[in-house]
Amino acid sequence: MSRKPFRLFAALLPMAIVIAACQSSASQSPAGSQEPGASAPSGGEEVTVIGTWTDAEQESFLAMVAPWEAETGNTVKYQGTRAINDILAAGIPTGVLPDLAGLPGPGQMAEYAAAGALKPLDDVLDIATYESETSPALVELGMVDGTTYGIFIKAAVKGLIWYNPGLHDYSADPPATWDDLMSQGEANQGDADALWCLGIESGDASGWPATDWIENILLRQAGPDVYNQWWAGEVPWTDPAIKTAFETYMEVVDNTYGGGTNAVATKFDLAGDPLFTDPPGCALFHQASFITGLGEFANQTAGTNYNAFPFPAFNDQYATAVEGAGDLFGMFHDTEAAKSLMRYLVTAEAQDIWVQRGGALSPNSNATSYPDDISALMGGMLTGADSLVFDASDQMPTSMNAAFWSNMVTLTAGQQTIDEALERLAGVAVDAYAQ
Amino acid sequence: MSDKLITTLVAVIGVPLVMIGYIWATEQVLRVVPGKYKPRVRPWLWLAPAFALLGLFLVYPTIGTVVRSLRDATGETFVGLENYAWFFTDEGAQSALINNALWLVLLTVLVVGVGLLFAVLVDRVRYESAAKSVIFMPLAISMVAAGVIWLYMYQYRPPGAVQTGTLNAILGIFGAGPVAFLQVVDFRINTIMLIIVMAWMWTGFGMVIISAALKGINPELLEAARVDGATEWQVFRRIIYPLLTPTLAVVATTMIITALKAFDIVYTMTNGNLNTEVIANLMYKQMFSFGQYGRASAIAVILLAAIVPIMLININRFRAQEAVR
Amino acid sequence: MTAVATPQQPRLGRVARVRGHLGLHTVVIGLMVIWAIPTIGLLINSFRPAAEQTSSGWWTAIVPPYQFTLENYAHVLSQQDIGTNFLNSLIISIPATVIPIFVAAFAAYAFSWMEFPGRDALFVVVVGLLVVPLQATLIPILQLFATWGIAGSFLAVWLAHTGYGLPFAIFLLRNFMGSLPREVFESASIDGASPVTAFFRLALPMTVPAIAALAIFQFLFVWNDLLVSLIYIGLINPENLPLPVSIANLVTSIGGGSEFLGAAAFLSMIVPLIVFFSLQRYFVRGIVGGSVKG
């Protein structure tokens, strides 16, 4: 009888044998190079990297660093995870940090730099070359008080309007103004249920596609200056310019497949799928460049089944402004190997590798080996824009950003009016910008 | 890699040996203690490993949390009760408190009620093992997967389109719907939908524990009652239920605390949008997204305070249990 | 069925019993179906191509054309490091289940059957610790682990999961051990058995169903944990990370890949279900009753 509890553990014993068995087979795999000093090539230093890229993106990043590894004999130990925010929030106060890491956003970058955790890159990078090859807006974004702390390895263009050329081909005469877009769109809507497709569900980040809408409208209605002052907290939420942008957005919601309820219930990556149904659910879909790798877009052919044109102007004065976004990357330990890898990552040679593999735009204007015309167009928009601004919500204090996302959900679902939303956001701003 | 092999062996063989060895060693230590002090010293030796680990992993950080809750976001300035004042005046926090109350009542009632019903019923059928594993299965699913499963259940497509969500397809058969379940703010239906997901996962927990207790009831006791002509309901009401009460209290207490700490499902499915916010998600945002450790700590302390009444009820219960055994 | 007053009653009784059984089976099977449907939906979808998963309901796949595929499973299994992560999961989960059971059993025994000052108060504090949010402990504990040089090691997560699991483990085992009849321990004590003997020969065997239940839950929580491992291991030693990391990483930073999650969920469930089935045989009637008599 007293042996019964031991039988309980005996039940776990077969597992131990499984582990032991698998272990001996695993030890024959090349993964053995993790042992420090064991048969490492000369150079032999290890750079630990944590980033948000997983799966296919992780493969692209590893392909990107492979030439550097071959050249220097160092190795990159990469861990991908989307929980980068949690990891760094725990890592910064404790000092347990990787050598290099993706950063959640410009706000956190400034915070980590102020805490002394992030290392300045001015003496690490060849700054002159870096600045000459990279769009000034992106260089600026990597800076805290004039010192560079973050670089972009991969970027995206926001404010693209996607359509199905099978319904109507806009490529010969893309709408130049919003009014032009509305009249052309309605004239060529055909069998489509509604003019627009919209989906803003994104788990814990739900609402961001709607903030992109507001940003792209505001940027072209009120211009880059108002845009930049707005995210910085200098133009209040209750400003008429902001309200006008919200009103334009709500007109879009009213003309959306399934209405606001469907927009809130639909995952952003699948929101454009009704473009491809027969009859189509909608004729137009606004989303960033990375949509081509998601949902039904991933199964369709660029140029033939889908195409895009830039967000049209509201005001001729701001016709060439473009909104971009990207993943910041910083350095926590300034070992020689880490510095060498940082230097390598910003080069056109390195960034071209990912560009070629698809799914990324390069912030480096000399990395142009895009696999298709649409990617090349988008890459050109990013590096060639007269006035490139960065995703506004990503630059707001995180609590402001979260409230912006969340209030866009409530607004789109029809659970609050524009004025109520702006009042609430103004209330959050008092607290958010105070810190 | 042979490191891992050694680790594994240590883990599987060494760990139980060390554990058993420890408790054997305590008796050896007690030999040198004079007889009348033995009963005084012994309990502490038995409790020592647990207290050491609890102290390290839970008490020590909690003390830090209490201290931190009285300081500002950077941790440098003492701000008194400001963080607590913030919590009780914040609009989002008010809504979260109501939702947590709803979580607490509904989740506890569902898990204890259905868990008890199922444990008692399957005790009488021959396919007990299969039946229990069906109820248990959701608990083995990770939160991420549970989120995916229920997105398929609650999925909404515009009226007229083909409904791909299970529930809306069923409603469609009866000519009703579609309903965007996670957006129905009235009567906090969307929060109830989230609670159902959690109850679906945790009923297996209640069932397993209640079933374990049920198996501990002496079958002769039940047989004797049946022989005396008691109906099955009377057997349940007069014998089984009173004997299960302590176990039901354990499950209920655990579920109350789980409801207070409800986080993952809300975080992955709605992130608190459309009035579905809960306290733990607020805390998570303040801590990991907003860098507001002071406020996050205050929320954690409020959670701790909230369970004091439940713990007092538990004390009384244990005293009563000891009095009768 | 004694004391039958009239001849009709047994017949009525049988009818009622049959009706009762019908009701019983209806309720049990009804609940089983309700509980199984969501999981079955995911299971079927896990064998369908991504485009099908999002454009039509899972039930449409149970009639031709089936359009089933193994591609989702193939993709999950082809992930880099998934084998290593699976092994890590076992290496993490087994000790992180065994250690808290022992530690909690010792403590539960002391709380149930030993007298010491402040017993109830201490017990309530222990259970009260259930409410401490895990997230609030991460930073101070990581700091300690870093100081001791065990951040990134398996030992760190074994200890951490033990600490986090103890309040519930002690709570549960105290409840079951505390409800054992007093005579058992008194007679053992009279027979000259030491507390260690009484613990191993009486208390443990008589709480086997509870220990089995605890083992199942603790194993599950550890097996499905992502956050604890990510923080205590991920920053230093990514090669020691467990399976949930591989699963979470199926979804890319821009949101693609959720079609693989179903397949991953079922692959990841296999081990917990084996644990459940193998421990289920300890949920048999009579272990306690039999022990009391023996």
Is B99 within 8 Å of B265 (Cβ atoms)?
no
pLDDT for residue A36 is more than 50? no
B163 secondary structure, DSSP code: P
Residue B216 vs residues A8, A390, B240: alpha-carbon distances, Å: 17, 65, 10
- Please indicate whether, in this complex, the C-beta atoms of B290 and A205 are within 8 angstroms of each other: no
DSSP label of A310: E
Evaluate if residue A406 carries a pLDDT over 60: yes
Cβ contact, residue pair B182, A86, below 8 Å: no
- How many angstroms separate the CA of residue A58 from the nearest CA in chain C? 9
DSSP state of B287: I
Distance spanning both ends of chain C, measured CA to CA: 30
Q: Nearest 10 degrees: CA dihedral of C236, C239, C244, C246?
A: 120
Contact between chains at B47 and C106 (C-beta distance less than 8 A): yes
Residues C227, C197: contact at Cβ < 8 Å?
no
Q: Is A250 on the interface with B (CB under 8 A)?
A: no
* B 50-89: CB under 8 A from C: 50-51, 53-54, 56-62, 64-65
Whether residue A89 and residue B287 make contact (CB cut-off 8 A), yes or no, is: yes
pLDDT in tens, C122-157: 999 999 999 999 999 999 999 999 999 999 999 999
Give A315-370 pLDDT, tens digit per residue. Answer: 888 888 899 998 899 999 999 999 999 999 999 999 999 999 988 899 999 998 99
Q: Which among A357, A410, A407 has a CA at the least distance from the CA of A64?
A: A357
B323 touches chain A (CB under 8 A): no
**Lookup: tokens for C259:** 């079609």
Q: Residue A160 pairs with which residues in a beta bridge? A: A287, A310
* Residues 138-157 of chain C whose Cβ lies under 8 A from any Cβ of chain A: 138-139, 142-143, 146, 151
Which residues in chain A have their CB less than 8 angstroms from residue C287's CB?
A: 4
Say yes or no: A12 contacts chain B, CB-CB below 8 A. yes
pLDDT in tens, A139-152: 988 999 999 999 99
Closest CA to A357 of A300, A270, A293: A293
- Which two three-digit tokens encode residue C256? 């693609």
Residue-wise pLDDT for A110-162, tens only, equals: 989 999 999 999 999 999 999 999 988 889 889 999 999 999 999 999 999 99
DSSP C200: I
Is residue A183 a contact partner of residue A390, using CB atoms and an 8 Å limit?
no
Residues in chain B within 8 Å Cβ distance of A266: 156
Instruction: Give the Cα separation of B71 and B82 in Å (integer).
Output: 8
Is the pLDDT reported for residue A51 higher than 50?
A: yes
Smallest CA–CA distance from A22 into chain B, residue: B5
pLDDT at C182 (0 to 100): 86
Q: Residue B2 pLDDT more than 50?
A: yes
How many Å lie between the alpha carbon of B119 and the closest alpha carbon of chain A? Answer: 22
Residue with token string 């659970």:
A415
Which whole-number Å values give the CA distances from B137 to B200, B208, C272, C276, in the listed order?
A: 10, 11, 9, 9
Q: What pTM, to 2 d.p., does this model score?
A: 0.91
- Check whether C290 has a pLDDT greater than 70: no
Share of chain B above pLDDT 90, in %: 63
Hey, which chains touch A, using 3+ CB pairs under 8 Å? B, C
State the nearest Cα–Cα gap between B188 and chain C, in angstroms.
23
CB-nearest partner of B124 from C3, C24, C103: C24
- Where does the pLDDT of residue C257 fall: very low under 50, low under 70, confident under 90, or very high at 90 and above? confident
| Yes or no, beta carbons of C95 and B60 under 8 Å apart | no
Q: Using CA coordinates, name the residue in chain C closest to B309.
A: C128
Distance from CA of B125 to the nearest CA of C (A): 8
Q: List pLDDT tens digits, range C89-128.
A: 999 999 999 999 999 999 999 999 999 999 988 999 999 9
* Residue numbers of C between 87 and 116 with CB closer than 8 Å to A: 87, 90-91, 94, 97-98
> Which residue is it, tokens 């299965």?
B137
Which pair of structure tokens corresponds to residue B91?
């609009």
- How distant, in Å, are the alpha carbons of B93, B144, B264 from that of B267? 15, 10, 5
Q: Give the three-state DSSP class for B309.
A: helix
A107 to A90, A401, B51, C139: CA distances (angstroms): 16, 11, 41, 21
Answer for the pair B304, C128: CB distance below 8 angstroms, yes or no: yes
Instruction: Assess A356–B contact: CB distance below 8 Å, yes or no.
Output: no
Contacts 24+ apart (CB under 8 A), B168-173: B169/C57, B169/C59
Average pLDDT over residues A82-98: 90
Put simply, whether A402 touches B (Cβ < 8 Å) is yes
Query: What local confidence, expressed as pLDDT, does residue C15 receive?
Result: 60
Amino acid at A326: G
Q: How far apart are CA C29 and CA C167, in angstroms?
A: 35
Report residue A41's pLDDT band, with 50, 70 and 90 as the boundaries.
very low
A203 contacts B269? CB cut-off 8 A = yes
Higher pLDDT pick, A293 / A35: A293
- Please name the residues between 270 and 309 in chain A that touch chain C, using a CB distance below 8 Å: 270, 273, 290, 293-296, 298-299
Average pLDDT, chain C: 87
pLDDT for the residue numbered B1: 53
Q: Higher-confidence residue: A335 or A8? A: A335
Is the Cβ–Cβ distance between A199 and A210 less than 8 Å?
A: no
Q: Residue C250 above 50 pLDDT? A: yes
Q: Which residues lie closer than 8 Å to B212 by C-beta, 6 or more apart?
A: B247, C176, C209, C210, C212, C213, C283
- What is the torsional sign of CA A38, A42, A48, A51? negative
Strand order in the sheet with A282-287: A194-197, A282-287, A160-163, A307-310
Candidates A273, A309, A300, A302; CA nearest to A370 is A302
pLDDT of C251 = 86
Residue pair B168/B177 in contact by the 8 Å Cβ criterion = yes
> pLDDT category, A14, cuts 50, 70, 90?
very low
DSSP H helices in chain B:
2-9, 15-31, 38-54, 60-68, 82-89, 91-122, 128-140, 143-154, 166-173, 189-215, 219-227, 232-235, 241-260, 264-269, 279-284, 293-306, 308-324
Residue A304 has pLDDT above 60, yes or no: yes
Mean pLDDT of B157-162: 89
Residue A24: pLDDT band by 50, 70, 90 thresholds?
Answer: very low
Reported as a pLDDT band with limits 50, 70 and 90, residue C10 is very low
Contact check, Cβ <8 Å, C249/A54: yes
Asked if B230 reaches chain C (Cβ–Cβ under 8 Å), the answer is no
Q: At what angle do helices B241-260 and C154-178 cross, to 10 degrees?
A: 150
Query: Using CB atoms, which residue from B142, B166, B211 is nearest to C268?
Result: B142
Q: For residue A56, with 0-12 CB atoms within 10 Å meaning exposed, 13-18 middle and 19 or more buried, which class applies?
A: middle
The angle subtended at Cα A213 by Cα A209 and Cα A215, nearest 5°, is 110
A182's enclosing H/E stretch is: helix A178-187
Q: A194 Cβ partners below 8 Å, 6+ apart? A: A255, A256, A257, A258, A281, A282, A283
